[in-house]
Amino acid sequence: MDLPVVLQLLDSSVRLAAPLLLACLAGLYSERAGIFDIGLEGKMLAAAFVAAATSAYTGSAWFGLLGGMAASILLALVHGLASITLRGNQLISGVAINFLASGMTALIGQSLFGLGGQTPQLDGPQRFGALTLPLAETLHGVPVLGPIWSDLVSGHNLLVYVAFLAVPATWWVLYRTRFGLRLRAVGENPAAVDTAGVSVVRLRYGAVVIAGVLCGIAGAYLSTAMSAGFIRDMTAGKGFIALAALIFAKWRPWPALFACLLFGLLEAVGIRYQGIRIGDFAVPVQLMQALPYVLTVVILAGFVGRAIPPRAGGRPYVKER
């Protein structure tokens, strides 16, 4: 393999990793605060649909992004109501949100546009276009580093950069701010946070809403940046791969980046090379597709380092009386 091929492969890994990364960080905020979130998929899907629909009506990808975030936050609040206020089962709530998004987007999409659940094709300002970073043209001639800068780093749409900048931002929020300290504490020992006079409920709602915002961006990315419109069930399990990446990363931001890049690379390789051969053994495409899930199971089983979730995860907090 020569440099251009490697760069193309990495380039598409980056594109494929961006939505995973956003959803993965969304899950990170929520789960670090002690709220399990298997509804990442549904929130992304709802956001993808509303973003594309809003963008189609208003002609602006920015309004689409706002609409997508609103839809995702709405579902996040339903999850918050169920799991924080009403102390319901967080997993069941997540399952419900996934189905709600899958059914509603197809139903409303058909009723609004009559295109079998799709939105119309988006183009021009209805989408987030590629950005050319400074010096991309001038540096192109420089060996190795030039193509890396101009082909791999430059030329993505805005939301890709948002996704990757969200990693250091999340690290900073989580480990360098008071909010982050409390967020992590509330996922480990909510009673201690409560004793310190900090509202567990408010912190957890905060985390859930942040997750909504990030899933909203991820959804908008899928339908208005990566593709040109919404197609039904377009998240196609990405929310669960993000969840897998979160476990893989043991609920930490920087490892989340590498987990998402790894899963993005797997997908990119799977798309580019339909038949990989190792010696005489032809690797089936399906194996490549199943690999993230298999890896997650292996990690979860603790065969390659143990993944220990936040201690208070999944348990509703009941104030002592």
Partner 1 sequence: MTPALPRWADLVLIPGLNLALAFLVAGLVVVFIGEDPIRAVRILIQGSLGSSYGIGFTLFYATTFVFTGLAVAIAFHASLFNIGGEGQAALGGVGATLVCLAVPWPHWALALPFAILGAGLLGGAWAFIPGYLQAKRGSHIVITTIMFNFIASALVVYLLNNVLKAPGMSLETRKFGEGTYLPFMHEMLGAIGIEMSRTPMNLTSILALAAAFLTWLLIWRTRLGYEIRAFGHSEPAAVYAGIDPVRITILVMVMSGAMAGLMALNVVMGYQHRLVLDFVGGAGFVGIAVALMGRSHPVGVILASILFGILYQGGAELAFEMPAITRDMIVVIQALVILFTGALENLVRLPVERVFARRARG
Which positions lie near partner 1, rule CB under 8 A?
A: 38, 78, 81-83, 86-93, 95-100, 102-104, 106-108, 110-111, 117, 237, 240, 243-244, 247, 284, 286-287, 289-290, 293-294, 296-297, 300-302, 309
Give least dist CB 28 to partner 1, A: 15
Q: Label each residue of 85-133 as H, E or C.
A: HCCCCHHHHHHHHHHHHHHHHHHHHHHHHCCCCCCCCCCHHHCCCECCC
Is 265 or 300 the residue whose CB approaches partner 1 more closely? 300
| Contacts of 45 by beta carbon, 8 Å cutoff, 6+ apart | 98, 101, 102, 105, 219, 233, 234, 235, 239
Cβ–Cβ < 8 Å for 256, 28: yes
Is 272 or 306 the residue whose CB approaches partner 1 more closely? 306
Is 149 or 240 the residue whose CB approaches partner 1 more closely? 240
Counting every residue written for the chain, the total comes to 321
Is 106 or 231 the residue whose CB approaches partner 1 more closely? 106
DSSP conformational letter for 281:
E
Give least dist CB 247 to partner 1, A: 7
Give least dist CB 272 to partner 1, A: 18
Give least dist CB 308 to partner 1, A: 9
User: And the tokens for 293?
Assistant: 């899930």
Give least dist CB 93 to partner 1, A: 3
Give burial (CB, 10 Å; 0-12/13-18/19+) of 250.
middle
Is 178 or 321 the residue whose CB approaches partner 1 more closely? 321
Give burial (CB, 10 Å; 0-12/13-18/19+) of 301.
exposed
Is 25 or 38 the residue whose CB approaches partner 1 more closely? 38
Give least dist CB 227 to partner 1, A: 20
